[in-house]
Amino acid sequence: QKHEFFVDMTCEGCSNAVTRVLQKLGGVNFDIDLPNKKVCIDSEHTVDTLLETLKKTGKNTSYLGEKSA
């Protein structure tokens, strides 16, 4: 299941922070769209878990919805 999140990323450092927290969580495939400040995650984890994980970056984060494959 693919989920799309808004993460207020402004630079490579921000996207690296997102990469770090998601890799630590494990069991995720993700794409980071830095210019549009979006992260698309393919995972079995719940939306709540993913959102909490992304919030660990300290960035403003919100759930945009499911993304059709």
pLDDT, tens digit, for every residue of 42-53? 999 999 999 999
- 68 — pLDDT class (breaks 50, 70, 90): confident
- The residue among 37 and 69 whose pLDDT is bigger is 37
By C-alpha distance, which of 43, 52, 45 is closest to 21?
Answer: 52
Q: Is residue 69 predicted with pLDDT exceeding 70? A: no
Backbone angles phi, psi at 3, to 5 degrees: -125, 145
Question: Which residues does residue 2 pair with via DSSP β-bridges, in sequence order?
Answer: 42, 67
Which domains does the chain carry? Answer: 2-66 (3.30.70.100)
Q: What is the pTM of this model?
A: 0.93
